[in-house]
């Protein structure tokens, strides 16, 4: 596919790396010549130096021959202008990153007039991810499928866990709960486990289960934590602004510590939360505002290093849920290595959303990608497919008779309102939603899971 990306920052670089690996022809537009040259050499993409909002630059980038334009500069306005101009030049699909909360309602109203295929708000996406973690604090990360009916939860197995030394078959027989361990990360290596796989201390597990059964699993596994009722948040920027609306919906009380008087005023006027205008990196301020007693602590400032440091301090004072926002993608693994388990990244969420849309554009016969999630430190993909027609060799065949690739697991089937954690006797039918987990990327259609 011929794709033009406008903006070579962290998000643009992440998108370039993934799409180039998948074999797409990429043209990257950016005003920073040094960054453009580096990315062009690194990912073997064609670079055009200039402002993506200028018609002459877009023409030089070959937008008239592109199938998709992705605008992810730091300016919402430039992103919108790029997409509008690209449509005029004949591009069928356009994606714009739009972050400003003040534009949210306008973008919904104007989306059809601007002919935008997709708008992405990274901070809103991360706020939703954080809220899911607060609903299930036992998990280090949680994703949803099947319109919220299926949960995919990640958690690390402790040395004293009752899960240690047990095979997955033993767990299924003992717990009598609908669940499936669909992926394991051990010593940095991902596994799609069979029933004979034995769990060890330090393993990172990903478990899929119906929404009503995931809590039962956490209780049976001895890792259940009560739902969060109150949080302390350091940082009152855009992510917190979006998160507060969700906290209000979930009846979760919050205390926000923010240095900017303007941000404090905006939050206090818009939401019923306690807002403290102070420096959240100071230990005495954190303790005074209830760090030691809160159910959850969220480090959501705009400075990655500050978020990491206050989160590490919070771990020494609190046994509740601790969530850290890291904007620099390359820092995520570094901070996970020092014990910060629940990390969210707006830029990573943006790249994954765009990747899902690009995969969906392939329009593989018989199936359509509904959602795509990166699991287990981005080493595993979980894809949700809607089955649109009968597929030879797949639909109607018991799963035990399917010749699946070795790196594939069918984690769940949703049939109307019924959630099926599949066994060998189950089958996939037209109209189903199917969730598959794989250690291999580039799957665009459900038929590709077969050998």
Range with lowest mean pLDDT among 223-237, 239-253, 325-339, 377-391: 325-339
| Residue 2 pLDDT | 94
CATH number for region 132-220 = 3.30.70.1450
Q: What is the pLDDT of residues 175-186, one digit of tens each?
A: 889 999 999 999
CB 24 within 8 A of CB 362: no
- CA gap 170, 3 in Å, rounded: 48
- The residue extents of the domains of the chain are 2-120, 132-220, 228-319, 349-449
| Residue 109 pLDDT | 66
Domains 2-120 and 228-319 share a fold: yes
Q: What is the pLDDT of residues 315-335, one digit of tens each?
A: 999 879 999 999 888 888 888
Does residue 364 register a pLDDT over 60? no
Architecture of domain 228-319: 3-Layer(aba) Sandwich (3.40)
DSSP-derived 3-state class of residue 202: coil
CATH number for region 349-449 = 3.30.70.1450
> Quick one: which H or E segment has residue 185?
strand 180-186
| Residue 440 pLDDT | 79
Q: What is the mean pLDDT of the chain?
A: 90
In CATH terms, the superfamily for domain 2-120 is NAD(P)-binding Rossmann-like Domain (3.40.50.720)
Does residue 365 register a pLDDT over 70? no
Mean pLDDT, residues 218-237: 92
| Residue 441 pLDDT | 67
| Residue 7 pLDDT | 95
- CA gap 32, 439 in Å, rounded: 35
The full DSSP string for 251-313 is T-EEEEEES-HHHHHHHHHHSSSEEEES-TT-HHHHHHTTGGG-SEEEE--S-HHHHHHHHHH
Q: What is the pLDDT of residues 23-59, one digit of tens each?
A: 899 999 999 999 999 999 999 899 999 999 899 999 9
Instruction: Name the residue with higher pLDDT: 353 or 324.
Output: 324
Does residue 111 register a pLDDT over 70? no
């Amino acid at each position: 596919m011929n794709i033009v990306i406008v903006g070579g920052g962290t998000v643009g670089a992440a998108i370039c790396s993934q799409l180039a690996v998948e074999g797409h022809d990429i043209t990257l537009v950016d005003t920073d010549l040094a960054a453009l040259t580096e990315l062009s050499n690194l990912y073997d993409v064609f670079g055009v130096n200039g402002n993506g909002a200028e018609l002459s630059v877009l023409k030089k980038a070959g937008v008239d021959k592109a199938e998709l334009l992705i605008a992810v500069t730091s300016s919402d306005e430039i992103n919108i202008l790029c997409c509008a101009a690209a449509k005029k030049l004949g591009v069928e699909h356009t994606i714009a990153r739009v972050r400003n909360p003040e534009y949210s309602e306008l973008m919904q109203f104007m989306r059809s007039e601007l002919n935008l295929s997709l708008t992405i708000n990274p901070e809103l996406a991360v706020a939703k991810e954080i809220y899911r973690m607060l609903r299930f604090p036992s998990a280090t990360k949680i994703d949803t499928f099947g319109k919220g009916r299926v949960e995919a939860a990640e958690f690390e197995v402790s040395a004293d866990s009752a899960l240690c030394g047990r095979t997955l078959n033993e767990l299924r027989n003992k717990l009598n709960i609908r669940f499936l361990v669909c992926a394991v990360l051990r010593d940095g290596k991902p596994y799609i486990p069979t029933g004979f796989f034995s769990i060890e201390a330090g393993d990172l597990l990903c478990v899929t289960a119906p929404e009503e059964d995931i809590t039962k699993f956490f209780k049976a596994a001895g890792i259940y934590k009560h739902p969060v009722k109150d949080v302390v948040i350091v940082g009152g920027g855009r992510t917190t602004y979006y998160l507060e609306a969700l906290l209000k919906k979930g009846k979760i009380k919050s205390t926000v510590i923010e240095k900017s008087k303007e941000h404090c005023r905006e939050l206090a006027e818009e939401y019923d939360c306690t807002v403290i205008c102070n420096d959240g990196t100071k230990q005495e301020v954190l303790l005074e505002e209830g760090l030691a007693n809160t159910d959850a602590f969220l480090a959501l400032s705009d400075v990655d290093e500050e978020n990491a440091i206050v989160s590490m301090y919070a771990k020494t004072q609190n046994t509740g849920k601790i969530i850290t926002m890291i904007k620099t993608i390359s820092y995520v693994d570094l901070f996970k290595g020092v014990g910060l388990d629940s990390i969210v990244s707006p830029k990573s969420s943006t790249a994954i959303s765009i990747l899902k849309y690009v995969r969906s554009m392939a329009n593989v016969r018989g199936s359509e990608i509904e959602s795509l999630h990166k699991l287990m430190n981005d080493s595993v993909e979980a894809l949700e497919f809607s089955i649109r027609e009968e597929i030879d060799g797949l639909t109607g065949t018991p799963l035990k008779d399917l010749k699946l690739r070795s790196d594939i697991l069918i984690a769940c089937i949703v049939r109307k309102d019924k959630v099926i954690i599949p066994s060998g006797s189950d089958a996939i039918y037209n109209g189903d939603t199917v969730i598959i987990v794989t250690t291999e990327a580039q799957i665009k259609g459900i038929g590709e899971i077969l050998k």
